[in-house]
Each structure stands twice: as C-alpha cells, then as structure tokens.
Amino acid sequence: MKENIPKLTRRNFLKVTSLSAFALQLPSLPSWAAGKKMGIVVHSYAARWQSGAASTTFPGFRDALDLLHHCHRIGAGGIQVNVRGWASDFARKVRDERERTGLYLEGSIGLPKSEGDVALFEEEVILAKEAGAAVLRCVSLGPRRYEALHSYKEFLDFQERGLQALQLAEPILRKHRIKLAVENHKDWRSEELVAVLHQLDSEWIGVTLDFGNSIALLEDPLYTAKTLAPYVYSTHIKDMAVEHHEQGFLMSEVPLGEGILPLDKIAGYCQKFFPDIAFNLEMITRDPLLIPCLTPGYWSTFHEDVPASALAHILGMVNTHNTSLPRTRQLAAEELLALEEKNVIRSLSYSKNTLNLND
C-alpha cells in the first residue's frame, strides 16, 4: 500500500482477504438471478436526453418522468437518473409514477465540495429519498484521470479532495439512511477506492461498480470486480470492445454480449454479496475512447504503483480481441437516435435471454 493511501486496519484487512477468497468460488449469474429486471442509466440515452432534435420517432426525454415512461414501455426494471434541480412536487410525481409502473429508482448526485455545499446536498438527498431512491450514485473526479490530472501531486490533491467530500456527505447519508455509491469512473484504481472506503468506515458509502471503466486504468475486469464486489451498492452493467491504436488502444461500449467482458461472472460477484443489487445498463452510443497508455503523459499520475505486467496484460487482451469499433460522429441526428435505441433494446434482449434478467 502506498504511503499516501490510508492504511487498512487489521479488522478491515481480514474482512477484505476473506471476502476476496470467498469471491473466487462464486458461481456464474444464471443459477440464481432469475426474475431480476435490468434498469437503464440515463447515460444510455445520452443523445436523446433533453434532446432538441426534431424527431417524431425518438422524441427527446425532458426529465426523469419521460425516462420512466419509456423504460417501462420497453420492459426495463428501473432507472438511474440525476436528481439535481428537482422540486418537491416533481419528486412526488416521480414517486407516484415509479409506484404505478413498479420500476425502481436510483439517483445520481454531486458530492459537496465544501461546507457551503452541504445544505444543497442534503436537499437533493431528501428529494431522491422522497421519490423512492435507496441508493445514490456519484463520481469523485468527473473527468478521466489521465486527461484531467497531469502529475502525481495532482492525483494526491484529488484524492484528498475526494475523501473530504465523502466525509462531508457521510453524516447526511447516515441521518437520512440512504446509501451513496462511488463509481470507479476512470479515476480511482480499485485498491485506491477501497482504501478510501476503509478510511471512511461507513455502512452508508460503497461503490457503483462499472463493469468496464477500469480497463482504462489497466485493470482486468475480473480483478476489478473481485476487489470491489464486497462494497457494491449499485452497478453500471456494460460490455466493451477494443481496438489497436498507436498511442495505446481504443475502447467502446457495445450491446451486451457483443464485447469481451465476462458479464455473468462479474454480475455473479455482485449478487453473491448483495442478492438484491440492481443491474443498471450503461450502453453509451458514442465514438471510441482513446486510452493513451503508451504515452508519457498517461503515466504521470500513477507514481510506481502500476506494474509492467498490468500494461502487458491489457495490451495482450487488446491484441486478442482487436476489432473495428463503431463510430458515430458521421451519423445524422436521427440515425444516432435510432442506433442508440437499437443498442439499448439489444442489450435488454440479451439480459433476458442470456443473463436471465427481465423475465
């Protein structure tokens, strides 16, 4: 453990090692997941969300109510959506519609950066809970680590700010008895995020496990899942594909079952620790993301904690699964909206027919 990362207590170390050993023995998902419907993350509709495109076939979603209506119509189990800007009467409308349709709700929320932000954070927590959310997803950094940070000191500063923000949030979460799930958002490597959770030592703060994000930080997806599963309160289920690039590699979300991720195994780790965990589809239809791991700038925030074997493993994975990734930049607005909907529907179908979800 690096000296800047909070050290694990003996109690936490024993907990983590015993859970990790147990996780290695987990079965795959279909043996015990039947009947749990997959939900939709609002980012799966990045093109359609609050879109001004003049489309009669794919009209824009104005707010969470529109997203709820659509996800109910296509057979999803719930939604994860930002709660910022909600009023109390709107939260009640979301609650009523959620109860009418039987869909679940997870909120997405920003962390308080200072004491001055705590009151707004608490207001959003109250509104999300009033609407029926029991879990709130958040991110610490926002942008990607290797794009937003340019030195190891900048990472240490981010790490300290992230810990302080969660320390400000924790009393509010505890007061209102609602859980916060920090996403592995191409900012924290798994051990770093776990160490922060141990520093907080709160039952109200855990993880949103994104199935594919940590590939960008040179982590094998199964390693990420095994490390974070004991702390997972929420998920972003997705599949990923990869392509060679002279600066490293490209990666993209693709419809479930069309990429390289062992979805059943990752989902299995999550459900073994939290049987009622919701699987939220994050199928973002966009151009590929560049992971410039063969450039000096990429490495500036990692100090000496990423072994060469991690780079070799991920590049080997890229070599094995190299494919031509879809591009969206050339598509007209209507074509992009149609492709986005097609990708969501194909993923829902896979979740029902192969992962045994959405029955």
**DSSP characters for 311-334?**
HHHHHHHHHHHB------TTS-HH
pLDDT bracket for residue 31 (50, 70, 90): very low
Residue type, 72: H
pTM of the entire predicted model: 0.89
pLDDT for 359 equals 53
Long-range contacts, stretch 197-201, CB < 8 angstroms, 24+ apart:
197/231, 198/6, 198/8, 198/9, 198/12, 199/6, 199/163, 200/163, 200/166, 200/167, 200/170, 201/12
Burial of 35 (0-12, 13-18, 19+ CB in 10 A): exposed
**Average pLDDT of the residues in 231-243:** 98
**Average pLDDT of the residues in 137-149:** 95
Of the ranges 12-16, 75-79, 91-95, 245-249, which one carries the lowest mean pLDDT score? 12-16
pLDDT for 358 equals 61
Of the ranges 14-28, 155-169, 218-232, which one carries the lowest mean pLDDT score? 14-28
pLDDT for 203 equals 97
304, 315 Cβ separation under 8 angstroms: no
Of the ranges 22-36, 101-115, 232-246, which one carries the lowest mean pLDDT score? 22-36
Of 125, 231, 107, whose CA–CA distance to 170 is shortest? Answer: 125
pLDDT at 304 over 90: no
DSSP for 147-202 reads HH--SHHHHHHHHHHHHHHHHHHHHHHHHHT-EEEEE--SSS-HHHHHHHHHHH--
pLDDT for 53 equals 77
Report the mean per-residue pLDDT for the chain.
90
Strand partners, 41: 80
**Average pLDDT of the residues in 335-356:** 95
**Average pLDDT of the residues in 334-340:** 97
pLDDT at 4 over 50: no
pLDDT at 23 over 70: no
Share of the chain above pLDDT 90, in %: 86
Beta strands in 113-159 (DSSP E): 135-138
Q: What is the pLDDT of residues 155-206, one digit of tens each?
A: 999 999 999 999 999 999 999 999 999 999 999 999 999 999 999 999 999 9
Strand partners, 80: 41, 106
More confident residue, 235 or 358: 235
List, in order of start, the domains of the chain with CATH numbers: 33-353 (3.20.20.150)
